[in-house]
Chains A and B, each alone.
Chain A
Amino acid sequence: MEFGPHLLLAVIEGSVGAAVLALTALGLSLVFGVMRVVNVAHGEFYMLGAVIAWYVATFLGAHPAVGFVGALILAPALVAVIAMLVDWLALKRVGYDPEATIVATIGFGYIFQQLTLMGFGPEARPVDPPFNSRIALPWFEFGENGLEFYFPWGLSVTSYKLFVIGAAAVLLIGFWLMLSRSKIGLVMRATELDRETAQAFGIPVDRVYAIVFGLGAGLAALAAVLIVPIQQAHYLMGHDPLLLSFIVVIIGGLGSIRGTIVAALLIGLSDGIISVFFSPTLAKIIATLLVAFVLVFRPQGLYGKKAA
């Protein structure tokens, strides 16, 4: 493929990944920002979202769109409940101690993986997209007759992938509005800034933490429902989203939604674009180092405050 179309394709594909990553990372960022704990089970909540989506779609049967919409509502809700249960069972009891939380969430991660393996099985299971048609994309060139459009071989996207990008954008904006304009957002931000003062002002911090933890997990599940018609549900699928969203949160700078989105774009797009020039694995190495160097030379992250 020629350079231009190749680059366009890499950008489109990267945007799909970035859109889903931004949602997942936002969930982690919320938990990390408000509660100051690293939720290692975040990837497993993502995985559970995809697995529940498969169950919902399979039981509802009917038209794929019915199953998909059902999953879009049920999966995040169920996962949020599970997460709140985890919060109540363990995190609250260890007083959100950072080290203890890491071990506890690793423990819950194992539990979720094993239960999924036993109930759902080891294979990757697909969910039908609600709609999916291939859209060939045009490219232009300056020929003898001036500007000409044509359809290069292979340059295409599917309608569902475009939908994922759009849906993620809408969700991100909605989320930003919720955080900045609504009462619950205000309460969360207050708790994030200063736990003790918030408590003194009568904010039920424990309940806020439970809600935040549930919401964060729900966002991961939501992202997973969006991606599962492209990537299938599998019991080990939570691994990469955890690492990548963790990276996104830190690179973007804590507490910055804008940073999270920019970092998700940076990470989602970089290995695709670099692979236009290099072999895929080398491209991944370069992309990984590049992102690491962002942090080496800007330790507070892209949009973080100086004293991170």
Chain B
Amino acid sequence: MTQTNRRTLLKSAAAGGLLAANPLLGRFASAQSAAPIKLGFQQHVTGIGAAYGRWYGRTTDAAVKMINDAGGINGRPVEIVAEDDGTDPKRGAEVLEKFANQHGCDAAFGALFSHVVIGSAPAAGELKLPNFVVSEGHHVASGMLNRYTLQPGITDVKSQVQAMAPFVANTLGKKVTMVFPDFAFGHDHRDYFTAAIEAQGGEVLEHIAIPPTETSFTKYFPKIPRDTEVLYHVMVGPAVLTFVKELGEFFGPSAPALFGFLDSLEAVDLASPGLEFLEGSYFWEGNPRYAQEDQSEFDKTFRAAVGVDANGASISDPADVSTYSHMFGCWETLHIIKAGMEAAGYQGPADRAKLIEAVEAMTYIPESQANPQGAKVFNGKTHQVFGHQYISQVQDGKLVKVHTTSIDDTFYPDEADYISQSF
């Protein structure tokens, strides 16, 4: 009952042909085995996460090209095996099984939506397949998952949220109303930001939790108290643009200060009709979407490699806006996997535990071409990375970086110790 997958067959036939004729073959030949390192890419191609999945795919292709052009991992080329998980936790777990048992992948990466990450975690543990998630959820660091799930390429929501509180309290105001989606991601914002703003001497006047799948929002806005100084908003999903637009229509000329998480506008053009009122408002950004004045060489190269212009849109289609605050995570994660495999002297699936130990041993990760978003600190115990967060203001219809938090601002006491778990 061996399923012969026609595409894999074709692919490997093509790869064989390529290998025979490839003048660059010598580059990979020094390694003991020139067989590719196979990485399973759990991609949200369909379902609610498709817009993210598409950009995660483009970023992954660019990162793999860069890694392979520089000689691959341990002298072996990297091959990506992408499978659609439909942004569904059940399918996510099945896809991991496919990676481990059918494709013989060395590791997996790429899951973004929290329910997929959590739904896939038991499978990763049972298959003993290292799964490097790119999700920004707090699930990894909270200790609810297992030793085979790591998040070394993107910071988690708890650290992001608490790092915003000083800026919000000192620059925008101390009386905050929060609007967030009524599911776990939103609840993390609610709980961690409320605690953080209170630590700054501020308070949250009202929590407004919006049911997921909601498509019209104005009816909930009257719950915003009149004496609100700052409106904190974060939404995800296809209705984000409606949400932000209706917010503007509701307030008209007399809005409080607005502070949003860019999740509210990922893959959405700031020039969309109805978003004019965002002028002057502030956003958290994971990575500045618009090329900044002090843009690093690393960001320049990263942008060009992925195919993103200075406005954060696709080079080929200015209306195709990227998920710039998240997708760098794929790039950085792949480079962490490379660094981990090289440190561990990774040979094959028998060395998976060594790979995890090598990543767990990482601490300070400097800003580099491998880490264009900025320097980071990895916590091996909690399997979670910490890094700089950016706050941008909308000026002339573009996001301009006005504040960069320190990494120290994002730390919180450990909630997990995965190292104590056996493999």
Q: Which of B208, B213, B216, B241 contacts A16 (CB 8 A)?
A: B216
- The answer to whether B219 touches A231 (Cβ under 8 A) is no
- The answer to whether A132 touches B274 (Cβ under 8 A) is yes
- The answer to whether A123 touches B320 (Cβ under 8 A) is yes
User: Is B251 located at the chain interface by the 8 A CB criterion?
Assistant: yes
Given the known interface contacts A134-B249, A156-B249, A232-B242, the answer about A281 and B209 at a Cβ–Cβ threshold of 8 Å is yes
In the complex, A123 Cα to B314 Cα: how many Å?
13
Q: Considering residues A13, A122, A134, A276, which has the most beta carbons from chain B within 10 angstroms of its beta carbon?
A: A122
Closest chain-A Cβ to B29's Cβ sits at a distance in Å of 39
Instruction: Sort chain B's interface into a size bin.
Output: 35 or more
- The answer to whether A122 touches B51 (Cβ under 8 A) is yes
- The answer to whether B218 touches A9 (Cβ under 8 A) is yes
Question: Which of the 9-residue segments A28-36, A71-79, A191-199, A234-242 touches chain B?
Answer: A234-242
- The answer to whether B209 touches A280 (Cβ under 8 A) is yes
| A156 contacts across to B, CB distance below 8 A | 249-250, 252
Closest chain-B Cβ to A22's Cβ sits at a distance in Å of 15
In the complex, A156 Cα to B273 Cα: how many Å?
19
Question: Which of the 9-residue segments B128-136, B221-229, B279-287, B403-411 touches chain A?
Answer: B221-229
| B218 contacts across to A, CB distance below 8 A | 9, 13
- The answer to whether A153 touches B226 (Cβ under 8 A) is yes
- The answer to whether A284 touches B211 (Cβ under 8 A) is yes
User: Is B348 located at the chain interface by the 8 A CB criterion?
Assistant: no
In the complex, A240 Cα to B274 Cα: how many Å?
24
Given the known interface contacts A132-B274, A272-B219, A275-B220, the answer about A231 and B242 at a Cβ–Cβ threshold of 8 Å is yes
Closest chain-A Cβ to B103's Cβ sits at a distance in Å of 24
Given the known interface contacts A231-B215, A280-B211, the answer about A126 and B238 at a Cβ–Cβ threshold of 8 Å is no
Instruction: Sort chain A's interface into a size bin.
Output: 35 or more
Closest chain-A Cβ to B50's Cβ sits at a distance in Å of 3
- The answer to whether A126 touches B272 (Cβ under 8 A) is yes
| B47 contacts across to A, CB distance below 8 A | 236
- The answer to whether B238 touches A232 (Cβ under 8 A) is yes
Closest chain-B Cβ to A308's Cβ sits at a distance in Å of 29
User: Is B398 located at the chain interface by the 8 A CB criterion?
Assistant: no
Question: What per-residue 1/0 map shows which CB atoms of B35-62 lie under 8 Å from chain A?
Answer: 0000000000011101101100000000
- The answer to whether B238 touches A237 (Cβ under 8 A) is yes
- The answer to whether B273 touches A126 (Cβ under 8 A) is yes
User: Is A145 located at the chain interface by the 8 A CB criterion?
Assistant: no
> Which residues of A are in contact with B by a Cβ distance under 8 Å?
1, 5-6, 9-10, 13-14, 16-17, 64, 114, 117, 121-126, 128-129, 132, 134, 136, 153-154, 156, 158, 230-232, 234-237, 240, 271-272, 275-276, 279-281, 284
> Which residues of B are in contact with A by a Cβ distance under 8 Å?
46-48, 50-51, 53-54, 182, 208-211, 213-216, 218-224, 226, 238-242, 249-252, 254, 267-268, 272-274, 319-321
